[in-house]
Amino acid sequence: MNVKLFIIFVCFTLFIGFPERGYAENSSAAMKNQTDNLISLSDQVFHYSIAKQDKAAASLLNELSEKWNHSLDLYSEKEQQVIGTSIVKLKVLLKTQANQQEIADAAASLRLGFDALQNEGTPMWKEKRSDIMKPLSRMNTALKNKKQEYYQYELNQFLNEYAIIYPALIIDGQPDMVTLLDQRITTLTNHRLEDITESKRIRQLNRITDDLNRLFKQSRNGKEENTMGLMPIIGGIVVTVLAYVSWVRYTAERKRRARIH
């Protein structure tokens, strides 16, 4: 086997051995284009909602829903369920002419959910960090000052803000961290009216604060991890080709010298 044939063989092996990578790249490009279109529509729905133009928001939401339903095969089952539920929720609120703040919050939640489908850049839900953390801090202060009514009010504020980012967290957050956080918040709210010492509630709040801080600090590194996993394979093939070429040249040089002598 000469050098050219060997190189052709290696290239053929790459083509046969990694067809799914080429398919994945095409699929990824299609998903990115579709996601960008969906994000653009959800952004328009959000702006119509906060402008209190409910009819226009409902019309665009129907268009968004149709496009989403025609692209479900590009997304995971979890993403389908989360986005689908958010769309239905906003449709119901618009149809029943609910409180305008509820509509705006649901539209914001849907917008953040679609943004979370992206695999690059900083997700928009992280921009809500201050809105989430401030009520927690004020709850802590209220408990230390033994102001229960103030504590309950800030708890409601926190739960409203958490509900807005929750769909995005389900899609984009680390599942084990989101599950643990959800359990802590559920425990806190289920026992909000029980006679529990301030010190215990403060410990609960501190755990929730720590969990949220970890979630807000997490990074999107799936793409980099995939690339790093492929690099050793490519590097090994390159080294093998170079070693073979060097060996062929070495043996040819030895034969040439042998003939001369």
Q: Provide the domain limits for residue 159.
A: 121-220
Asked if residue 55 and residue 84 are part of one domain, the reply reads yes
Residue 8 in any domain: the answer is: no
Asked if residue 197 and residue 170 are part of one domain, the reply reads yes
The phi and psi torsions of 65 (rounded to 5 degrees) equal: -60, -40
Asked if residue 154 and residue 99 are part of one domain, the reply reads no
Residue 233 in any domain: the answer is: no
- Examine the fold and report which residue of 64, 97, 120 is the final residue of a domain before the chain moves on: 120
pLDDT confidence of residue 249:
61
pLDDT confidence of residue 145:
93
Q: What is the pLDDT along the chain (261 residues), one digit of tens a residue?
A: 555 554 554 444 444 444 444 444 556 777 788 889 999 999 999 999 999 999 999 999 999 999 999 999 989 999 999 999 999 999 999 999 889 999 999 999 999 999 999 877 789 999 999 999 999 999 999 999 999 999 999 999 999 999 999 999 999 988 999 999 999 999 999 998 888 888 999 999 999 999 999 999 987 643 333 434 444 444 455 555 555 555 556 566 666 566 555
Asked if residue 197 and residue 111 are part of one domain, the reply reads no
Asked if residue 39 and residue 114 are part of one domain, the reply reads yes
d(CA 78, CA 76): 5
Q: Which residue has the tokens 């268009």?
A: 63
pLDDT confidence of residue 255:
62
Residue 249 in any domain: the answer is: no
pLDDT confidence of residue 101:
94
Closest among 117, 133, 91, 217 to 170, alpha carbons compared: 117
Kindly provide the b/e burial profile for residues 114-142, where b requires at least 16 CB atoms within 10 angstroms of the residue's own CB.
bbbbbeeeebbbbebeeebbebbebbbeb
Whether 173 and 196 have beta carbons less than 8 Å apart is answered as: no
Asked if residue 199 and residue 167 are part of one domain, the reply reads yes
Whether 142 and 150 have beta carbons less than 8 Å apart is answered as: yes
Residue 159 in any domain: the answer is: yes
Q: Which two tokens stand for residue 66?
A: 């149709």
pLDDT confidence of residue 127:
93
Q: Domains in the chain: how many in total?
A: 2
- Examine the fold and report which residue of 86, 102, 120 is the final residue of a domain before the chain moves on: 120
Residue 75 in any domain: the answer is: yes
How remote is the C-alpha of 55 from its chain's centroid?
Answer: 30
Asked if residue 167 and residue 110 are part of one domain, the reply reads no
Residue 138 in any domain: the answer is: yes
Asked if residue 128 and residue 205 are part of one domain, the reply reads yes
